Amino acid sequence: MRTRVLSLVLALGAALGAALTVLGAGPAQAAGYRYWSFWQSGGGKWTYATEGPATARPSDGSVNGFRFSVSEDSGDSAQPRTAPDFEAICGRTPPKDDTKRIALVIDSGTQADAPEGETPPASRSACAQVGKDATSAEALASVAKPLRYNSEALLCAISGYPESGCGEQVATKPKPKAKPSESAASASAASKSGSDHKGGPSVGLIAGLAAVAVLGTAAVWQSRRRRG
């Protein structure tokens, strides 16, 4: 009998340790990619391009944008921070026969997205006047050399930035922590309800219940031992 009760105590203790380990573990960091995203204008807004700059053939009066950032996917990708305004960029460039004018916005991003040891160049705009059949990549090359591509034709660098790397995977930055007052309020609410912010039992509540169960079982075992 004593052996059976002792086994139960040990099992409950192990369950408590496992619960604290699982609940105390932090969320895994999401993976993102550091790269130049390609954007096109539409209705005065930026739209993520559905094809690469090497195949896109914009018409005269188009605006193309390039933004360097760390993004998890196209829906999470940062847009160029300059509005797609053709007149503001190309308004002073007169049209010529057999050419087209493409307004380009080149946004090198922020220091937080830069590779270690590098500083992003200042963002800039330029008006590319190229042949009527030119691609977006050719328009970009006319105003922002040198460009660098990898073996899969992925655009890796504009005007030499960044110096190395191409679409490498990096850990995305964690979301900002709640303010101290917000954290205190959340902790107070969780304490009163006996649950965490996701609606499940809190670590403290589970630990308390498991500890009570372990101590209660131990007390029963001790009482029976004395009687015996």
- Taken in order 115, 121, 126, 129, the sign of the CA dihedral is negative
Return d(Cα 39, Cα 142) in angstroms, integer: 18
Whole-number pLDDT of residue 80: 97
Whole-number pLDDT of residue 75: 77
Domain ranges, residue 107: 31-171
Whole-number pLDDT of residue 61: 97
* 20 and 67 in a common domain: no
Asked if residue 140 lies in contact with residue 159, where contact means CB atoms within 8 angstroms, the answer is: no
Whole-number pLDDT of residue 228: 52
Based on the structure, what is the number of domains in the chain? 2
* 85 and 185 in a common domain: no
Question: Cα 17 from chain centroid?
Answer: 33
* 148 and 49 in a common domain: yes
* 194 and 98 in a common domain: no
Whole-number pLDDT of residue 29: 56
* 211 and 124 in a common domain: no
Among 143, 171, 199, give the residue marking a domain's end. Answer: 171
* 115 and 189 in a common domain: no
* 86 and 21 in a common domain: no
Q: Whose structure tokens read 């699982």?
A: 22
* 67 and 7 in a common domain: no
Asked if residue 159 lies in contact with residue 146, where contact means CB atoms within 8 angstroms, the answer is: yes
* 149 and 75 in a common domain: yes
pLDDT averaged per 10 residues in sequence order, the chain, 228 residues: 47 47 49 94 94 96 97 85 97 97 98 96 98 98 96 94 95 54 42 43 44 44 49
Return d(Cα 103, Cα 125) in angstroms, integer: 7
* 13 and 56 in a common domain: no
